[in-house]
Amino acid sequence: MTETATHPALVSGDERGLQRRGRDLLFSVSGALRALQLYPLENQTVVNALAELHAITQDLLAAEEQLTVRFVGDFFFINDLRLRIDLQSYATYGAVGRALSRHGIGELEVFRGVDVPEWTALLALVNTEPVAADPFGGFLERLGRTAVLHLAVGPDRESEPDLRDNEARRVAKRAYAQTVAVAREVMTGLRMGKGVSLRPVKRAVQSIVDQVLSNEASIVGLTNLRDYDEYTFTHSVNVCIFSVALGKKLGLNKHQLYELGLGALLHDVGKVRMPVDLINKPGALTEAEFAILKEHPAEGLLQLFDMRGLAELPLRAMLMAYEHHMKLDQTGYPISVRPRQPTLFSRIVAIADGFDAATSKRSYQSQPWPADKVLREMRDNPGRGFDPLLVKAFISMTGIYPVGSVVILDSFELAVVTARNPRAESVHQPIVQVIYDALGIRLEPPRTLDLAETDPSTGRPLRSIIKTTDPERYGLHVGDYFV
């Protein structure tokens, strides 16, 4: 990267202006880090330092929705421009670089909407001691516990996280938690009539797509972290994950997966225009109430037209919000004046939406269906209106016993399905963790088994699934086995 590279949209061709602003940004970051080390949050020095950092950030973001700060070797880059180093800046740049490098951070992204509390949380974490075994992974895990939505960090080249085993689950969990937080912010903001930027939404969807492409088992497993109190938000994220995973199974490219994920995450946005007491009503809806609820796809289409950043919102996302309750035989809703077929993406989202809704505990569904029974119903009952070829692909993706199913084996052991068997011929023989042995004694830690494993002397499986069962009957929280 050359020192004379410019970013026209950010500085309107004025490289010197960006050099000055970038220098001011790093000096203010350094000052805020130092103030947070020396004084409590309420101290005026800290307040002034964070206010200055916020003002400089807003000035930089005034001409650009996104700001990327990279630290490579001894140099800092602001977007595509390398900042010059002089005697005054050398020590400051070095101090900021060392503070980030301790945690394996090589990149910081700043998005419009960032506020002082988010800067406070991020910089306070930078000041903490790094996790010795995995500095960047530890930092990500800590950051995931905060409410930071408009700041994101990336690894330096020497500390790219190892996406295996526990680390893979940590990275997936962070992507999941951030996307739930974004869904909560968007839905709550829209319900309150606030302007909502699409930038954090797009970044969250991109992270889900990346996880599905590189770490599918971990991110799909997290769809079992269903929270009754946050159903609206976790449901949207789960539908996004299932849709992208099915799209991957169908061979969609990365850009198509992104468009699919964006529409899937926003598919229920029309519910923000529905009465809250109707959405949260326990028990069955009356005919009149259901008639009101059936308006949410059309309301979702209108809501997406009103969202800021419309020019960058794919038309497909709007169609997914509008069409995800239409059926192939046109008996769904909203009713179309002219004969039409829902788009491929809408049919994918319909399956993901139906599966997650049926397997979740909701205000009017205290007892969710077992996943294998839901799949059977979707496959065998044409009245549900799902595309049969897509349902077949979905079952091939999830397996007959989807991740999170609690099963009883013919050995009388109780197990949780933790992964689909990668061999196509073993779709009915998933990877499981045995939780209780045949005598009902809890195993600590659980024992992992591949149900496709056979007895060498007979060639028959060592264990088989007899049936699925309700985890609450055994006091199990399935999500515990995916975190």
Instruction: CATH number of the domain at 296, please.
Output: 1.10.3210.10
Total of domains in the chain: 3
96: Cβ contacts below 8 Å, ≥ 6 apart? 26, 29, 30, 33, 71, 76
Residue 226 lies in a domain: yes
- Of 129, 161, 193, the residue at which a domain comes to its end is 161
Residue 337 and residue 415 in one domain: no
Residue 235 and residue 350 in one domain: yes
Q: Which domain holds residue 61?
A: 8-161
| pTM for this prediction | 0.67
- Looking at residue 1, its pLDDT comes to 35
Residue 251 and residue 314 in one domain: yes
Residue 63 lies in a domain: yes
In order along its 483 residues, the chain shows pLDDT tens digits of 333 333 333 333 456 777 888 899 999 999 999 999 999 999 999 999 999 999 999 998 886 666 889 887 667 888 767 888 777 788 888 899 999 999 999 889 888 888 999 999 999 999 999 988 888 888 988 887 888 888 888 887 554 444 455 677 778 888 898 899 899 989 998 888 877 777 788 889 989 998 998 888 889 988 987 665 577 889 999 999 999 999 999 999 888 999 999 999 999 999 999 998 888 887 788 899 999 999 999 999 988 887 755 455 678 889 999 999 999 988 999 988 888 889 999 999 999 999 999 998 765 566 788 899 999 999 999 999 999 999 999 998 998 899 889 999 999 999 999 888 877 778 889 999 999 999 999 998 899 999 999 988 998 999 999 999 988 888 888 877 776
Residue 195 and residue 303 in one domain: yes
- Looking at residue 191, its pLDDT comes to 87
- Looking at residue 362, its pLDDT comes to 67
- Looking at residue 358, its pLDDT comes to 92
- Looking at residue 147, its pLDDT comes to 80
Distance CA 87, CA 9 (A): 29
Residue 378 lies in a domain: no
